[in-house]
A and B are shown apart, each in its own frame.
Chain A
Amino acid sequence: MKALTINGKGKIGDFVFNLINYSFFTAFTIACIYPFYYLFINTISDNGLVQRGLITFIPKGIHLTNYIALAEVNELGTSFLVTISRTVIGTVLMVGVSAFAGYLVTRKEMQNRKFWYRFLIITMYFDAGLIPWYLNMSMLGLTNNFLGYIIPGIVAPFNVILVKTYIESIPVELEESAFIDGAGYLTVFRHIIWPLSKPILATIAVFGAVGHWNSFMDSLILMQGSPHLQTVQHRLYNYLNQASNLDAIMSRSGAVKDVLDSKVIKYTISMVTIIPILVVYPFMQRYFERGIMLGAVKG
């Protein structure tokens, strides 16, 4: 008898709990995706309807002219080229360096190892500030210079530490026996460490690439005198912020002017910038999640 009532009460309680729980999470998830969806349907729907604000849930009069018209905007193409180049070059260099530097600091026999490791870690907790950083970059000649996107990011202390922690978790027998066979550090790194640490390298590569793709502040601060070196995000920021920038592209290209109005063009450019992330995301999700776990291990 008693067991039954508890059971019954539990069932009602369960039901209420689940109802609230599922409702909350469903609502929050919708809040997270709907803006993307709204943006997307407004870029592919009939521009007249979009103008009147009639596209809210279902796309109507689907067409791709907005995207096609955007392809004519040369300066956008330039910034895509800049962003793609920095993403590829910057990520490849960062991953290679993090792997190798991470490996070096795992070797206990390194002279003054503690010092060199601290030399690396301190930079994570302490920085001189934006202005000294900018003045330093300017002094080095890395302002208005594509290399300004690449060189400062080659040694990424946090990623070096992630790799180091990972390599330390790999059993070292293989490595030691290779040393006994007379292999040097470079050989061991190339044939043993690199293949074994691929999971962590994939993770930092994904994070690095997303970081480069989303980069905005360095473009804003360093490339003030070189519009042709602005990243996609910087360009988008200009379009979103200043109507004059939009008018400029609209007047320059006849086709663009016929098709787009400022609202649709903003949406379309935003969408073009988001699409790469959304496309890559499902494949990369497990790397993202592993990344945050590894990051937490070290704190």
Chain B
Amino acid sequence: MVASGFRNFSIKFLEIFMRVVAIFSAVVMFSPTMNPARVTDLINKTTSLFTSAISYSRLTSEAGRAIRLEWVSQGDFTIIYIASILISLGVLFTLIGSGLSIGNQKLKRLSYMIIIPSSLLQLTGLFGIWRAYRSFGESSRLDRVVYQLPGGFFIFIAIALMTILLSVALLLLIPRPDKDMPYDMDRSKQLVLMYMPFAALLFIFSYMPLLGWRYAFFDYKAGVTSLSLDSFVGFKWFTFLFKNKATLNDIVRVMRNTLVMSSLGLATSWLPMIFAMFLVEAKSSRYKRFVQTFTTIPNFISWVLVYGLALAIFSTDGFINSLFLNLGWRTRAVNYLMGDRFIWFKMWAWGTWKGLGWSAIIYIATISSIDPTLYESATIDGAGRFQKMRYITLPSLMPTYFVLLIMAVAAFLSNGMEQYLVFENATNTAKITVLDLYVYQLGIKNGVIPLSTLIGMVKSLISVVLLFSVNKLSKVVREESIF
């Protein structure tokens, strides 16, 4: 009795230990400082094991010269690449295996039978890395090909050996189940386990970027400095934003553009609703179909293509100029895409051209679901066309309109940047640059990472606050909300 109690306890303990090790190895996979594959300084120090395994170009990004001059052979990098893939797969299968160990006795045994070969796979990969390391040691330019076995190498060896040991121990401790025992696991846990890969992807691509906010508090230049305590500058960039005249001017200008263009959009957000209300008044349903089909097409082409069309129509040798010149209405061509006159209005117009027909569809569908007897009885009561529109159609569209309005208000600062990027040129940049485009130009084009991160961060926070307050307001005022 006591013995079996102790046995169960050790199984539990070792199992948990195994899971911790498996998760730890998965996390370490993303850490550049613990990359087992970085056996030479020719590999960029920001490269993690995961990166080495999915990006050969990143792995060799700084080794091009060394390979060309034959200090090292390309083959060694191929070995490192393949080895990284093997180790990563080993980690992945170990993780899957330890996930399966949540199940019943039979599934547990299966899971450890999976983990042992996975760990061997890891060791094979590590052996490959060791081979490459030895090969680097024979290089003619050891001063440039600084080679070493990184700390991560030993960590992964330890992990692999530990998982093998744990698996063997657990296989010995867990008694062999009856032959006809089925594989089984608690259903509620099965679901979570199957959901895990997606949760991991979400975490990596939607939550991990939040870590990037720390760049707003450091003095950081891409590729030059790394984040360390001495480059921590606290709120320097916040004060910089207000103290630096040029930046402040930029921000004010960009905010003006953003607010004006978003306001234009909000002020005309009812257009699709009106569009739908009047379109359904057309009697011929084939005509309605025709209009609907062709006015939605612009929504499905990219902004780059919209710009291509804009060039064809409005540039110096485009449709309008050709027509006017050939008809003799004008003697000189005008490029309507240059200059910043009416640029806010023009941007609004392009947005409306692209989106009006599409946004109207939802209202058209809502109208078609209104009870027709309402209209019939209104007609009998002598209501005219406009009265019916005002008192029947409009009120039934309002809920949809308000939901969309909430979303539009929440996105007040996010005009998106594609449209403005493609239409931007030297003559209109002062009036067309919106916040999103500014962040892109500052961060990606000019490499000013801390400041652009800071601006993006403030924007994200304001957007969330906006969303919640508008949602709350709408809950109170109209008893409607999006969540």
Query: Are B304 and A233 in contact, CB atoms less than 8 angstroms apart?
Result: yes
B86: shortest Cβ distance to chain A, in Å? 17
B234 at the interface (CB under 8 A from A): no
Query: Are A25 and B282 in contact, CB atoms less than 8 angstroms apart?
Result: yes
Q: Which residues of B contact A151 (CB under 8 A)?
A: 201, 205
A15 at the interface (CB under 8 A from B): no
A185 at the interface (CB under 8 A from B): yes
Interface residues on B, range: 35 or more
- Provide the main secondary structure of the chain A interface: helix
Query: Are A111 and B188 in contact, CB atoms less than 8 angstroms apart?
Result: yes
A178 at the interface (CB under 8 A from B): no
Query: Which partner residue on chain B sits nearest A226 by CB separation?
Result: B57
A84 at the interface (CB under 8 A from B): no
* Bound: A17/B191 CA distance, A: 59
Q: B307: which of A54, A133, A240 is its contact (CB, 8 Å)? A: A240
Query: Are B209 and A128 in contact, CB atoms less than 8 angstroms apart?
Result: yes
Query: Are A267 and B312 in contact, CB atoms less than 8 angstroms apart?
Result: yes
B194 at the interface (CB under 8 A from A): yes
* Bound: A269/B311 CA distance, A: 13
Query: Are A277 and B300 in contact, CB atoms less than 8 angstroms apart?
Result: yes
A67 at the interface (CB under 8 A from B): no
B187 at the interface (CB under 8 A from A): yes
Query: Are A109 and B191 in contact, CB atoms less than 8 angstroms apart?
Result: yes
- Provide the main secondary structure of the chain B interface: helix
A263 at the interface (CB under 8 A from B): yes
Interface 0/1 of B442-473, CB less than 8 Å to A: 01100001001100110110011001000000
Interface 0/1 of B290-307, CB less than 8 Å to A: 110111111011111101
Query: Which partner residue on chain A sits nearest B296 by CB separation?
Result: A288
- Chain A positions 118-145 with a Cβ under 8 Å from a chain B Cβ: 119-120, 123, 125-136, 139-145
B141 at the interface (CB under 8 A from A): no
A69 at the interface (CB under 8 A from B): no
Q: A132: which of B215, B313, B356 is its contact (CB, 8 Å)? A: B215
Binds A, one of B45-53, B106-114, B154-162, B166-174: B45-53
Query: Are B436 and A296 in contact, CB atoms less than 8 angstroms apart?
Result: no
Query: Which partner residue on chain A sits nearest B194 by CB separation?
Result: A104
Query: Are B305 and A270 in contact, CB atoms less than 8 angstroms apart?
Result: yes
Contacts A140-B204, A292-B358 hold; do A109 and B304 have CB atoms under 8 A apart? no
Which of B279, B290, B323, B443 gathers the greatest number of chain A CB atoms within 10 Å?
B443
B387 at the interface (CB under 8 A from A): no
A217 at the interface (CB under 8 A from B): yes
Query: Are A129 and B278 in contact, CB atoms less than 8 angstroms apart?
Result: no
Q: A141: which of B58, B198, B291, B400 is its contact (CB, 8 Å)? A: B58
Query: Are B309 and A139 in contact, CB atoms less than 8 angstroms apart?
Result: no
Q: B54: which of A18, A147, A233 is its contact (CB, 8 Å)? A: A147
Contacts A111-B188, A185-B191, A270-B305 hold; do A131 and B453 have CB atoms under 8 A apart? yes
B439 at the interface (CB under 8 A from A): yes
Q: Which residues of A contact B215 (CB under 8 A)?
A: 131-132, 135
* Bound: A105/B469 CA distance, A: 28
* Bound: A36/B298 CA distance, A: 9
Interface 0/1 of B270-302, CB less than 8 Å to A: 000000001101110001001101111110111
- Chain A positions 85-119 with a Cβ under 8 Å from a chain B Cβ: 97, 100-101, 104-105, 107, 109-113, 116, 119
* Bound: A236/B194 CA distance, A: 41
Q: Which residues of A contact B449 (CB under 8 A)?
A: 131, 135
Query: Are B456 and A128 in contact, CB atoms less than 8 angstroms apart?
Result: yes
Q: A35: which of B47, B189, B208, B313 is its contact (CB, 8 Å)? A: B313
* Bound: A123/B204 CA distance, A: 12
Query: Are A21 and B304 in contact, CB atoms less than 8 angstroms apart?
Result: no
Query: Are A216 and B291 in contact, CB atoms less than 8 angstroms apart?
Result: no
- The size of the chain A interface, using a CB distance under 8 A, is 95
Q: A127: which of B206, B400, B452 is its contact (CB, 8 Å)? A: B206
Q: B444: which of A36, A123, A130, A277 is its contact (CB, 8 Å)? A: A130
B69 at the interface (CB under 8 A from A): no
Query: Are B300 and A281 in contact, CB atoms less than 8 angstroms apart?
Result: yes
Query: Which partner residue on chain A sits nearest B278 by CB separation?
Result: A21
Query: Are B362 and A123 in contact, CB atoms less than 8 angstroms apart?
Result: no
* Bound: A152/B143 CA distance, A: 39
B418 at the interface (CB under 8 A from A): yes
* Bound: A116/B199 CA distance, A: 8
Q: Which residues of B contact A129 (CB under 8 A)?
A: 209, 212, 439, 453, 456-457, 459-460
* Bound: A140/B362 CA distance, A: 40
Query: Which partner residue on chain B sits nearest A116 by CB separation?
Result: B195
Query: Are B212 and A277 in contact, CB atoms less than 8 angstroms apart?
Result: no
B365 at the interface (CB under 8 A from A): yes
A73 at the interface (CB under 8 A from B): no
A74 at the interface (CB under 8 A from B): no
Query: Are A56 and B319 in contact, CB atoms less than 8 angstroms apart?
Result: yes
B99: shortest Cβ distance to chain A, in Å? 13
B186: shortest Cβ distance to chain A, in Å? 8
A40: shortest Cβ distance to chain B, in Å? 10
* Bound: A217/B361 CA distance, A: 27
Q: A296: which of B47, B55, B300, B403 is its contact (CB, 8 Å)? A: B403
B326 at the interface (CB under 8 A from A): yes
* Bound: A285/B410 CA distance, A: 29
Q: Which residues of A contact B204 (CB under 8 A)?
A: 136, 140
Binds B, one of A26-34, A163-171, A193-201, A246-254: A26-34
Which of B308, B417, B483 gathers the greatest number of chain A CB atoms within 10 Å?
B308
* Bound: A128/B205 CA distance, A: 10
* Bound: A282/B187 CA distance, A: 44
Task: Using A109-B187, A135-B212 as known contacts, list a sample of 15 further A-B pairs with CB atoms less than 8 Å apart, ordered by residue number in A.
Answer: A25-B279, A28-B295, A33-B297, A36-B297, A53-B321, A136-B211, A139-B32, A142-B54, A152-B205, A216-B304, A221-B440, A266-B311, A288-B296, A296-B362, A299-B403
Enumerate 28 A-B pairs (CB-CB under 8 Å) in ascending A order: A17-B281, A33-B294, A39-B312, A52-B322, A104-B194, A104-B195, A116-B192, A120-B198, A126-B460, A128-B213, A128-B456, A129-B439, A131-B443, A132-B453, A141-B48, A144-B55, A145-B54, A145-B55, A151-B201, A185-B190, A216-B304, A233-B305, A240-B307, A266-B308, A281-B300, A296-B362, A296-B403, A299-B407
Q: 6 shortest A-B CB distances, which residue pairs?
A: A132-B212, A53-B322, A129-B456, A141-B51, A141-B55, A270-B308
